[in-house]
Amino acid sequence: MTDQSANKDFPKQQQSLPGSQQQQHPSPEVLPRDYPNGKLAGKVAIVTGADSGIGQAVAILFAKEGADVIVSYLCEDEDAKVTKEHIESYERRCLLVASDLAKESNCKALVDKAITEFGHIDILVNNAGRQVEQQTLSDISTQQLDKTIHTNFYPHFWLSKYALEHMSAGSSIINTTSITAYRGSDHLMDYAATKGAILSFTRALANNLMSNNKGIRVNGVAPGPIWTPLIVASFTPDEIEEFGKSSPMGRAGQPNEVAPAYLYLASDDASYVTGQVIHVNGGEIIGG
């Protein structure tokens, strides 16, 4: 990768419109970047919730592009083994870690295991989450609220905190927020609230790391309706039958249609991108 820091200062110069690139100094870098061994060659990535769905698709794509992957998941051993098989089919190393990341000690332990096994961390994908439908606010118990917050938001904070100790300039943190962070959800109010918190945390941490000249980028992905096990575990049969049909494209997306957004943000292709969110939602136009 070209050292972009060399282009911070430009000598005084002026041209008449439309301007000549041949006379511009230094000349803009326009040739495609070359990744002979994959966009993530030599990188080590932690991906949470990587046993299935979006996390699984991300972990497999990262391996295809040259990364070794720590696959974090709650308890779905068989799904996680499939993820590992796919990663190893690309001749990359995979470490499976079954853990409840709603506990801070487990988040630190996950980072420690990654360092013990691989020596460094280049990419952190905070993706694991849960959702439970409720039709009214009074139906959401304090217990449910606490569990949703501890599962969806706290691990983003804790894992970022502990992983940053081992990340260097050029590393990347990618957080999974949601379309619900922007437009809400009348039946997933606590879930939407945590996704809004993740959005704000992403922007705040990105600003903090840039202000402190860490050179570590922080971005997010906001999926819309994506066909994952979380959907069939959360929605009613009637809702599943209509799932995704209200999107402008008239269908739900697949995990492998979301994963390339994470790859872009993890790679040097996104070297000038931080504090941003990529929307993969079937065409819904939303603010923010």
Sheet hosting strand 277-280, strand order edge to edge: 94-98, 68-73, 44-48, 123-126, 172-176, 217-223, 277-280
> Which run of H or of E encompasses 155?
helix 154-164
Helix (H/G/I), strand (E/B), else coil: 201: helix
Active site residue 73: no
**Angstrom distance (rounded) from CA 134 to CA 143:** 13
Helix (H/G/I), strand (E/B), else coil: 128: coil
**Angstrom distance (rounded) from CA 221 to CA 141:** 28
Greatest distance between any 2 Cα atoms in the chain = 67
**Angstrom distance (rounded) from CA 81 to CA 225:** 25
163, 109 Cβ separation under 8 angstroms: no
44, 121 Cβ separation under 8 angstroms: yes
Which residue out of 191, 262, 264, 272 is catalytically annotated?
191
**Angstrom distance (rounded) from CA 98 to CA 96:** 7
Catalytic residues: 191
